[in-house]
Structure 1
Amino acid sequence: MPASPTVSFRSSWGCRATYATPTGPPRSSGSPATTAGWRPTRRRSAIRASGRRAPAAGLLVDQEGYVLSCDHLLRDEHDALAPLVDVELADQSHVTASIVGAEPTIDLAVLRIGDTTKLPPLPSGLELGDSDRIDAGHWAIALGDPPGPERVFRVGMVSSSPQRQCYQEQLSATGLQTSLDVPPGGLGGPVVDILGHVIGLSVQPPRAAGTAIQAPAAGSFTLPINLVANLLEALKVSQSRSSPWLGISVLETASFRRRPEAVSVTIPPSGVYVDDVFDPSPASRAGVRPGDFLLALGGHELRSVGDFQTWLYQLGIGTDVKLRLLRNGAPLEVVAPIEVRPESARPR
């Protein structure tokens, strides 16, 4: 496995970053083709929040300085995000990174290093994989490089591939189910397959409604890299730091076709299937119902769950959006506002 440059490093795989937080209170899972050429790195990092330090890892995405990590590690007890990140490079020099965007519902954060001229070249070697092709019985290896001499290297197996692509209602069904038990120091680090292809990102397990952001959670959860890649691109554009929410859960039409009830339904050639609607929610108040097909959001045609998630972020919280629906074969249009996901509506 080739050495990879880092954003700290004492080793060629790690980086140390200190997250400075304020002292007061205070966005198809996507196509891997759009991010071909990613090279993963682990980083030895430390987060400083209200006098506490928590180990973490991360993934250096590209030569533009984008880094993936965990949202919960960047927030203090007031749920405020750190304004700046001090990153130590291999030669002991430091660069500053800022938070580009975050999706607290799935514990994902995107950072960007300011001075990319100090980054070492990204080598060939480890590549972004395709998490949609992962199946039960495949190997899964979690990597991490927390502060100190410890390294995280956990080997496990995949027990189930993601059962759905939309995390709006059933987040647990969106992840790669594995036997990995990643310690805190490995959270934010990559999960790779036996060939070294990055297939996921280790994050904190989904937490129940009412649980504090900083509350410790046992174990880990593997976000599929296809979902992460899709949201990375959306967060780069939207720079959202909260979870946008309409209150609907959607399926690919191909997934809906496998259901018994699909036999008697006219399925459109594009769009996504609405399989659940939160009540109350912006969608329920607008009259959206389970069983509708969502064909377009804010004037943008939808061909996959990834399209739905992308436009949900890019249209953004506070925007009134037009939903073009198909109900029982008849077209229908409604308008609903994109809101911040309430704590009471956390997915399972």
Structure 2
Amino acid sequence: MSTPRSLLLPLGLAAVIGGAGGAALTVGAGSHTTTTTVTQAAVPATADTASTSGTSPVADTSAAPLTATQIYQRSKDAVAFITAQVTQRSSGPFGQVASGTATGTGFVITKDGLIVTNAHVIDGASSIRVKVGDRRPVTAKVVGVDTSTDVALLKIDTGGADLPTLAFADSSAVQIGDAAFAIGNPYGLDRTLTTGVISALHRSIDAPDGYAISDVLQTDAALNPGNSGGPLLDTSGRVIGINSQIESSGSSATGATGGNTGVGFAVPANTVRRVVAQLEATGRATHPYLGVASGDTTSGVAGARVGSVGAGGPAARAGVRPGDVITQLGGTPVRDAESLTSVLEGHRPGEKVTAELLRGGQTHTVTITLGTRPARAVTTAG
């Protein structure tokens, strides 16, 4: 059973790790500290191994493990230093309302200049400059942004040159204890390598739009402000996730967010690849929507207990009621509320899925036509 979200709140503040002026998370004077909560999900999402034309595929896994030095030498020139001139960041769960210069990290996924980073790195930016490896900084355009997964896709003009790229791994194959390597620009210190292990799997963190990002990788590789959007790599130098948030002990009196405490979070590569494929194709990403607020059961029965059902939403139209316990969705078992989010992400808007419900001690089966997730969450449930 997943850890209740409320029990984790006293442990500290998890903060997005985009830099500001190369030295802090928030941007400009009077910024608010970015906060989120962290929970553990019980069921991994369905891996999606499709890739778009020209986008880095899942890399070969047959090569012998590389040393940290080899990984750095092979990867560093595909890592980007991102500088965003911010006019005003959007309000929301992260509370980022500021202006100034924000810095972060990204990485190249196609030789013609597609670059992945976090959405919060470029939030509110009027202009974006990208420096890939040792190349001169150039202006980047935004291909698309998905605040539900904190992923953004940028494009730069390479002048006809082929850029070095990083390939994605299948993040569903990552195990606790696997070595992990982060390359980024903490505090403006470009292309810094830190090492560690995968310390936990299937975490859930809050996205900028208030929804939950599921199946997040937890690592003890040192991550600090400025690492946002950078790659978390495996022993083959493949991207297993985007470094996005850290668990921090708090903030200073000036509002600067605390640094690394040994608990960092990366959006998994399978999620990133699925979103990037949509952003490259259409400039936007869509996510399935069930239209319920759910919580864990208190009886020990596996499943997600429905607390409320959105009027006129997909679940309501299918006859789902408050108090129902969703035990399966689309044939996949649902163990708790967090796993419901994870299982749901394995489907598409408009798809018809069957749901098994426990109601009054009896099992009911309903067919739900999934909707498209609204722009901002009213609750963090699916």
TM-score band, normalised by shorter chain: 0.5 to 0.7
Q: Structure 2 counterpart of 1:184, which letter?
A: P
- Cα distance change on mapping 1:333 and 1:217 into 2, 3 Å: farther
Conserved 8 A contact 1:230-1:306: no
Q: Which residue of 2 aligns with 1:57?
A: 105
Q: Which residue of 2 aligns with 1:309?
A: 345
1:114-173 per-position Cα deviation (integer Å, ceiling 9, x unaligned): x355343436xx6432222222222111111368554422212222233689x9999476
- Per the normalisation by structure 2, the TM-score is 0.56
Q: Structure 1 counterpart of 2:47, which letter?
A: G
2:87 maps to 1:45? no
2:149 maps to 1:120? no
2:308 maps to 1:279? yes
1:50-77 per-position Cα deviation (integer Å, ceiling 9, x unaligned): 341122001111124321111112223x
- Cα distance in 2 for residues equivalent to 1:206 and 1:236: 31
Q: Which residue of 2 aligns with 1:199?
A: 240
2:222 maps to 1:181? yes
Larger helix percent? 1
- Cα distance change on mapping 1:132 and 1:47 into 2, 3 Å: same
Q: Structure 2 counterpart of 1:235, which letter?
A: L
- Cα distance in 1 for residues equivalent to 2:239 and 2:267: 11
Range that drifts further, 169-178 or 151-160 = 169-178
1:310 shift after superposition: 6.7
Conserved 8 A contact 2:203-2:215: yes
- Cα distance in 1 for residues equivalent to 2:103 and 2:200: 28
Please state whether the residue corresponding to 2:198 is helix, strand or coil: strand
- Cα distance in 1 for residues equivalent to 2:232 and 2:159: 28
2:57 maps to 1:36? yes
Select 1:325's aligned residue among 354, 367, 371.
Answer: 354
1:176 shift after superposition: 1.3
Conserved 8 A contact 1:152-1:185: no
Please state whether the residue corresponding to 1:233 is helix, strand or coil: helix
Please state whether the residue corresponding to 2:199 is helix, strand or coil: strand
- Cα distance in 2 for residues equivalent to 1:105 and 1:205: 18
1:336 shift after superposition: 6.1
2:276 maps to 1:232? yes
- Cα distance in 1 for residues equivalent to 2:268 and 2:214: 11
Count of matched residue positions in the alignment of Structure 1 and Structure 2: 272
Q: Which residue of 2 aligns with 1:221?
A: 265
Please state whether the residue corresponding to 2:236 is helix, strand or coil: coil
- Cα distance in 1 for residues equivalent to 2:327 and 2:189: 54
The higher-RCO structure (CA 8 Å, 6+ apart) is 2
- Cα distance change on mapping 1:136 and 1:309 into 2, 3 Å: closer
1:293 shift after superposition: 4.0
Q: Which residue of 1 aligns with 2:5?
A: none
Larger strand percent? 2
- Cα distance change on mapping 1:339 and 1:138 into 2, 3 Å: closer
Any stretches of 5+ residues in structure 2 without a counterpart?
1-21, 23-44, 60-73, 88-98, 249-254, 295-299, 332-339, 358-362
Q: Percent identity?
A: 20
- Cα distance in 1 for residues equivalent to 2:306 and 2:210: 9
Any stretches of 5+ residues in structure 1 without a counterpart?
1-15, 17-27, 77-81, 208-213, 251-259, 263-273, 297-303, 316-320
**1:285-296 pair list within 5 angstroms:** 285-286=316-317, 287-288=319-320, 289-291=324-326, 293-295=328-330
